[in-house]
Amino acid sequence: MSPRTVQLPDDVCATAEKWMQGRFESLEELLTFILKEIVRHDGSHLDQREEEIVQQRLKDLGYL
């Protein structure tokens, strides 16, 4: 599977890179993790609290 190019605002990337220091080696690794988690947890099976946590994390990272 070949990688895709995604364009994100510089400020969002800078915030995510600052947040992920020591947790992920690259922004690509962070985004891959987040997207895999979203796909792994089918939205219809998330309870309301889990969904709120995911939504807040995405907001904190500037994706929502």
- Sort 24 into a burial class: Cβ within 10 Å, 0-12 / 13-18 / 19+: middle
Would 52 be classed as within a structural domain?
A: yes
Would 18 be classed as within a structural domain?
A: yes
Across residues 3-11, what is the average pLDDT?
A: 90
pLDDT per residue over 10-32, tens digit each? 999 999 999 888 889 999 998 99
- pLDDT for 49 beyond 90: no
Would 1 be classed as within a structural domain?
A: no
- pLDDT for 50 beyond 90: no
Helix, strand, coil percent values for the chain (each to nearest 5): 65, 0, 35
For residue 49, what are the domain limits? 10-60
Would 47 be classed as within a structural domain?
A: yes
Number of domains in the chain: 1
Residue 4's Cβ-side half-sphere holds a number of Cα atoms within 13 Å equal to 5
pLDDT per residue over 53-64, tens digit each? 888 888 888 877
Would 2 be classed as within a structural domain?
A: no
